[in-house]
């Protein structure tokens, strides 16, 4: 199965991706991870990405598309994929479709995790991350056993500077403005599968599997 995961920050894309990877053995392809991997390996594309990152600029669409093309050409996603972090605009969705058509790996479904602003704010303002191993906790839903200390490695747990209500509201506005055309794009293709992401993660997972079962996915 070939999926694109859509949803605002805090909608639960990472949790859902982990579930689908375990349940259906579909590789999770995060564009952020691809960017970091290329920079770490100091590839020619990674060097190009690093210039934009270090200057504080956005990595151009054509560079991200090249990275995805490379990733999808090495055999890792022959049995399927979950693409997370791209596309974020309609232009990106069209460029992605063009590349995936050439590679004969077109998107089957675009899964949209529809989360409301109050739920996103609650999730993100309560999120805490380990400085050492990046393990994620939540002060209400998944608190560490010892306050301020990571269960996994004993590292310090902190709150990201952008996980505050004002910044989250701005990020949500920007996301919805940019992503609505993407949602409409996949909906027009009959590929959009919308899930109520305000529910708890288990219910979201069960509802999505019902959708896949009903469509023969």
Catalytic residue flag (residue 36) = no
Residue 13 is among the residues annotated as catalytic for this protein: yes
- How many C-beta atoms surround the C-beta of residue 118 within 10 A? 9
Query: Sign (positive/negative) of CA torsion 87, 93, 13, 183?
Result: positive
Catalytically annotated residue among 36, 66, 105, 171: 171
Catalytic residue among 71, 123, 127, 193: 127
Is the bond preceding residue 111 a cis peptide, omega within 30 degrees? Answer: no
Active site residue 127: yes
For residue 138, give every residue at least 6 positions away whose Cβ sits within 8 Å of its Cβ, in sequence order, or none. 123, 126, 127, 128
Tell me if residue 171 is catalytic: yes
Residue that has been written with the tokens 């859902």 in this structure? 16
Q: Which residue has the tokens 């693409």?
A: 83
Single out the catalytic residue among 36, 50, 66, 88: 88
Annotated catalytic residue: which of 40, 160, 169, 210?
Answer: 160
Query: Which residues are 25's β-sheet partners?
Result: none
Active-site hit among 2, 13, 71, 193: 13
Cα–Cα distances in angstroms (integers) from residue 108 to residues 133, 166, 198, in the given order: 34, 36, 24
- Return the active site residues: 13, 88, 127, 160, 171
């Amino acid at each position: 199965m070939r999926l694109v995961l859509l949803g605002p920050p805090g909608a639960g894309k990472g949790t859902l991706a982990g579930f689908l990877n375990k349940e259906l053995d579909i590789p999770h392809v995060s564009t952020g991870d691809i960017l970091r991997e290329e920079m770490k390996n100091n590839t020619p594309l990674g060097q190009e990405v690093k210039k934009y990152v270090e200057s504080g600029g956005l990595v151009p669409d054509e560079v991200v598309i090249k990275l995805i093309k490379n990733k999808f050409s090495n055999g890792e996603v022959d049995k399927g994929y979950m693409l997370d972090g791209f596309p974020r605009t309609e232009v990106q969705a069209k460029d992605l479709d063009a590349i995936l058509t050439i590679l004969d790996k077109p998107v089957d479904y675009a899964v949209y995790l529809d989360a409301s602003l109050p739920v996103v704010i609650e999730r993100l303002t309560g999120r805490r991350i380990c400085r050492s191993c990046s393990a994620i906790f939540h002060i209400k839903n998944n608190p560490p056993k010892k306050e301020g200390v990571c269960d996994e490695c004993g590292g310090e747990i902190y709150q990201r500077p952008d996980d505050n209500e004002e910044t989250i509201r701005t990020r949500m506005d920007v996301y919805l403005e940019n992503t609505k055309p993407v949602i409409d794009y996949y909906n027009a293709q009959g590929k959009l599968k919308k899930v109520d992401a305000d529910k708890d993660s288990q219910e979201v997972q069960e509802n999505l599997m019902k959708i896949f079962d009903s469509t023969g996915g």
